[in-house]
Amino acid sequence: MEKRDELYAGKAKSVYGTDDPNRLILHFRDDTSAFDGKRKEALERKGMVNNKFNAFIMDKLQAAGIPTHFEKLLSDTECLVKKLDMIPVECVVRNLAAGGLVRRLGVEEGIELVPPTFELFLKNDEKGDPMINESLAQTFGWATSDQLSRMKALTFQVNDVLKQLFQDGDMLLVDYKLEFGVFDGEILLGDEFSPDGCRLWDAKTREKMDKDRFRQGLGGVIEAYEEVGRRIGVNFG
Ligand code: ADP
Ligand code: CDP
């Protein structure tokens, strides 16, 4: 597998082409951003930690029958994935109230959400990733009705697998964001799953162990990610 040109530099990852037109290399950088890229900082080891964390989670999801783009780890900070035609719609499931939901609805942080909620956001930093719905996604051609149904079903399947995985490590999976894309006509889970794109709290103390530590300037960001990884069995080497 030969690495070719950089095709895209995102806020946290860079995407490279390969000699196979259907495969990409994702390079996890140390860069960390919040508030739609308005706040940025490089955090030492973050690229390595998130790359290995993501590989571990993608393997678990694949083993549970959830189709993903993930192929294999290539190095500490790189992995090989199937090249997807990305759907610009972010799927968010929440098990407990936090973040945007608390700000929007004024509900108390930490209340249990039964059943868990499902929200859609347009992936567009300039517009601040606005909340959308199935009707808007279909009308503006961001996703078809069939794609939206499949994405929703897969996002809840991920919840079943990961809620249990984190619970076994004495953590609460508060909420998370997933991105999907199309490969050979099939919807696959794309992008990454790491503490950058979810909220995780210690089950007993409810201490935050995810990117909220960066957003809220709490410090110990990567140490918390590593602790999450250790509790679920990720080998950081
Ligand atoms: P952002 O674009 O939000 O700044 P990143 O820094 O994580 O995010 O950049 C990674 C980019 O690669 C994202 O735009 C994501 O949608 C895209 N991406 C992730 N997985 C794939 C894939 N398998 N095929 C094509 N694009 C992908
Ligand atoms: O992060 P914020 O409070 O602005 O938004 P949210 O809607 O409460 O986010 C819900 C979950 O999705 C959190 O775990 C976020 O980390 C994640 N998310 C993300 O990873 N990327 C986005 N662009 C938006 C949300």
pLDDT for 120-154, tens place per residue? 999 999 999 999 999 999 999 999 999 999 999 99
Please tell me the predicted confidence (pLDDT) of residue 61. Answer: 98
**What is the Cα–Cα distance from 219 to 212, expressed in whole angstroms?**
10
Where residue 41 falls among pLDDT bands split at 50, 70, 90? very high
Q: From the CA of 108, how far away is ligand 1's center (Å)?
A: 32
Q: Which two tokens stand for residue 205?
A: 């103390």
201 by DSSP, 3-state: which? strand
DSSP conformational letter for 68: B
Ligand with minimal distance to 192 CA: 1
Place of tokens 């196979």: 20
Percent of the chain at pLDDT > 70 equals 100
Where residue 113 falls among pLDDT bands split at 50, 70, 90? very high
Tens digit of pLDDT for each residue in 47-59? 999 999 999 999 9
* Cα 59 to chain centroid, rounded: 14
Where residue 18 falls among pLDDT bands split at 50, 70, 90? very high
* Cα 49 to chain centroid, rounded: 14
Q: Is the CB of 83 within 6 Å of ligand 1? A: yes
121 beta partners: 90, 131
Of the residues 33, 81, 86, which should be mutated to test ligand 1's pocket, given the most ligand atoms within 8 Å of the CB?
86
> At residue 1, does pLDDT exceed 90?
no
Q: Is the CB of 13 within 6 Å of ligand 1? A: yes
Q: Is the CB of 86 within 6 Å of ligand 1? A: yes
**What is the Cα–Cα distance from 101 to 131, expressed in whole angstroms?**
11
**What is the Cα–Cα distance from 100 to 73, expressed in whole angstroms?**
33
Q: From the CA of 182, how far away is ligand 2's center (Å)?
A: 23
Ligand with minimal distance to 129 CA: 2
Q: Is the CB of 89 within 6 Å of ligand 1? A: no
Of the residues 15, 46, 81, which should be mutated to test ligand 1's pocket, given the most ligand atoms within 8 Å of the CB?
15
Of the residues 14, 126, 191, which should be mutated to test ligand 1's pocket, given the most ligand atoms within 8 Å of the CB?
191
Q: Is the CB of 199 within 6 Å of ligand 2? A: yes
Residue 79 CB burial class (10 angstroms; 0-12, 13-18, ≥19): buried
Query: Average pLDDT, whole number, for the chain?
Result: 98
Question: What does the pLDDT average to over 97-109?
Answer: 98
Question: What does the pLDDT average to over 30-40?
Answer: 93
Question: What does the pLDDT average to over 83-110?
Answer: 98
Cβ contact 195:211 at 8 Å: yes
Please tell me the predicted confidence (pLDDT) of residue 207. Answer: 98
**99 torsion bin: left (phi>0), alpha (psi -120 to 50), beta (else):** left
Q: Which two tokens stand for residue 86?
A: 């990305």
Q: What backbone torsions phi and psi does residue 101 show, to the nearest 5 degrees? A: -65, -40
Please tell me the predicted confidence (pLDDT) of residue 51. Answer: 98
Q: Which two tokens stand for residue 30?
A: 């140390």
Helix (H) or strand (E) holding 88: strand 85-96
Task: Locate the ligand 1 atom nearest the alpha carbon of residue 29 and give its number.
Answer: 6
Question: What does the pLDDT average to over 183-188?
Answer: 98
Please tell me the predicted confidence (pLDDT) of residue 36. Answer: 83
Domains contained in the chain, CATH given: 3-82 (3.30.200.20), 85-220 (3.30.470.20)
* Cα 214 to chain centroid, rounded: 16
Q: Is the CB of 81 within 6 Å of ligand 2? A: no
**What is the Cα–Cα distance from 20 to 81, expressed in whole angstroms?**
11
Q: Which two tokens stand for residue 177?
A: 């964001």
Q: From the CA of 25, how far away is ligand 2's center (Å)?
A: 24
Please tell me the predicted confidence (pLDDT) of residue 37. Answer: 87
**What is the Cα–Cα distance from 163 to 96, expressed in whole angstroms?**
11
